[in-house]
Amino acid sequence: MRFTPHRNPHFQYESDEPVSGYDSLTDTEDEIEDLGEVLDTLDLKSRFDYVRKVCHYGDASPAPEVVDRTRESSVEGDEAEVATKDDFDPLRYFADMLSDRLEQSKERVLHVIEAEEKRKRLEEERRKEEERKRAEEERRRKEEERRRIEEEERRKKEEAEEKRQLELEQTRKRKEEEERRKLEDERRRKEAEEAAKKAEYGKTNYAAVEQQYFKYKQDIADIKRDVVEKMKEPANKELKKLVGVQKRKINPKFGQLTNSEPQWQRIMSQIHGLVTEAKGNDLAYRWLLNFMAKAIISQAETEVTVKPDSAVPLAKLALNLLIVFPEFEYYLMARFVKKCPLVIGYTCTIDTEQGRLRMGWKRKADGKWEEDIQYDERLSGIATVYAVMCRLQIDATFLGCDAAQTKHPLPISRAWTMMSRLVNLPLELATSVHFAVAGMWWDSCAAQICAAYGRQGAKLLRVTCADWTQAVAERKYSGAARLRLLGEDWQRGGELKQFKGMTSEDVPDS
């Protein structure tokens, strides 16, 4: 039979010896009754009643046989034992049995306590082991993070060093390329000059002219890459604002030019001061030079086309800028050739889009090419400024230079080369624009050509106005007809007309 002491409130104890009190059991009836109640709670009441029936308390004589049918199977052994023992003490029997069971319960409790303590100990050990593992994992994670950061920093340093080395290498290659290009440009320039010197009627080296044209075309591409696009970079945002301020100060000056020498002096002085301020920054300086080159060509396309006399102050301003800022020639000549390649005598066919673009044609807003008359007038205006620059003499009115010691950047020989290449051009390439430009060239510098070259100059004029125009008479170009009239007037003894020069009258700035 299973005994569970904790189910009975009588056996809830704190003493280490819960059964010690049973050694002094009395023989009173009350005690027996109390024991019966206790045994009842332990499901032992039936056995106790059976014993009481077998023998009375204090009497060891045998009792009549009483069978407890409810516990028959479990009491048979006890019956035999009681029958054979005259000194059987039921209280002692049950007390001993109770004591044994209490001892067993105590042992089980102690075993449970021991098992719980072991469980707690193992749980604590497991927790500490997990904490140790977590700490180890955290240490490994931090170590890996440290190594990762160190590796990332090392990689960034290596990338930065590689980038620096790459930039140094690119800078070195760029400088080498620039030096090579300068040498090549110088070689081409010398070849072009030699070709110009050797040029005679019918013997112009147009291959050299084409090389010269492509040199200026490459200059335009380089300017766009090294100046225009570079200024647009985010790193140059503030610099762009500063040069924008200078640009807005300079731009109106070109439209204020008149034939007034005092006014011209003031405008030239102001532009010179504004550009000089930018020389401290190479990119800003080059950007302003490129801007002024474009502004001069734009003024020639619009103002000079309408009023040819306005070419004189504009050409003088451009020539003075070439003298005080020698780097300006690189930008100005590139713009001249891009917009009007006739200034160096270059011509190609215009039966393709590429050919028209080379010859300076523009498209209108609707995508169509501009009209022939508009194209002829634009190029005539540009060529006029170029020719006037060639014919001007450097004198004391030029600012920032010693007239006696200063070499002319565009001497009159450039105007000779321009016209000789045009008249030597194969007739199948000649169009109305060539004769329109030649007519403005005549107005701009024909007198200076005759003064500089004498009989050879006069010969060039006769070929231009007579032989060349007669060769295309059937084409009925208006420019060729005007040029022929100018030549006839000159050959009848008339003077070669010139544009009005500068005057001493002062004009207030607008």
- The answer as to whether 478 is a domain residue is yes
Over range 249-258, report the average pLDDT. Answer: 93
Please give the structure tokens belonging to residue 181.
């290009």
pLDDT of residue 191: 59
Q: Are 78 and 47 in contact (CB under 8 A)?
A: yes
User: Within a domain: residue 60?
Assistant: yes
What does the angle CA 315 – CA 318 – CA 324 come to, to the nearest 5 degrees? 140
Together in a domain, 81 and 225: no
Which has more confidence, 2 or 166? 166
Place 58 in a pLDDT band, splitting at 50, 70 and 90.
very low
* 322 shares its domain with 446: yes
**pLDDT higher than 70, residue 251:** yes
pLDDT digits (tens, 9 = 90+) for 459-480: 999 999 999 999 999 999 999 9
Q: Is the pLDDT of residue 370 over 90?
A: yes
Q: Domain boundary at 75, 96, 117, which?
A: 96
Q: Which residues contact 424 (CB under 8 A, 6 or more apart)?
A: 199, 201, 202, 203, 204
Residue 97: predicted pLDDT: 86
Does one domain contain both 221 and 366? Answer: yes
Kindly state the average pLDDT of the residues 219-230: 96
Q: With helix as H, strand as E and coil as C, how does 221-286 read?
A: HHHHHHHHHHHCCHHHHHHHHHHHHHHHHHHHHHHCCCCEHHHHHHHHHHHHHHHHHHHHCHHHHH
pLDDT digits 0-9 by tens, 390-429: 999 999 999 988 888 899 999 999 999 999 999 999 999 9
Mean pLDDT for the stretch of residues 354-381: 94
- The pLDDT confidence band at residue 31, using thresholds 50, 70 and 90, is low
| Alpha-carbon gap, residue 499 to 36, rounded angstroms | 152
Higher pLDDT, 447 or 83: 447
pLDDT at residue 296 in the model: 97
Ranking 14-28, 242-256, 271-285 by mean pLDDT, the lowest is 14-28
Query: Is the Cβ–Cβ distance between 321 and 250 less than 8 Å?
Result: no
- Span 362-390, average pLDDT: 95
Residue 224 within a domain: yes
Task: Write the DSSP assignment of 274-323 as a string of letters.
Answer: HHHHGGGSHHHHHHHHHHHHHHHHHHIIIIIHH-GGGHHHHHHHHHHHHH
The mean pLDDT of 101-108, rounded to a whole number, is: 88
CATH number at residue 233: 1.25.40.510
Q: How many Å separate Cα 402 from the centre of its chain? A: 48
- Give domain status of residue 510, yes or no: no
Q: What is the pLDDT of residue 477?
A: 94
Q: Would you state the pLDDT for residue 75? A: 47
Same-domain status, 472 and 352: yes
**Residue 466: which H helix or E strand, with range?**
none
pLDDT per residue over 110-155, tens digit each? 888 989 999 999 999 999 999 999 999 999 999 999 999 999 999 9
What pLDDT does residue 18 have?
45
Last residue of a domain, one of 38, 64, 96: 96
Binning pLDDT at 50, 70 and 90, where does residue 48 land? low
Strands, E assignment, 104-220: none
Q: Is residue 288 part of a domain?
A: yes
Domain limit, last residue, from 73, 96, 119: 96
* Structural domain containing residue 39: 5-96
Same domain? For 213 and 91 the reply is no
Answer yes or no: do 334 and 465 share one domain.
yes
Domain count across the chain: 2
Q: Is residue 184 part of a domain?
A: no
Q: What is the pLDDT of residue 186?
A: 73
Is 273 a residue whose pLDDT tops 60? yes
Residue 124 lies in a domain: no
Give domain status of residue 116, yes or no: no
pLDDT tens digits for 64-103? 444 444 444 444 555 555 444 556 787 888 888 888 888 8
Q: What is the DSSP letter of 474?
A: G
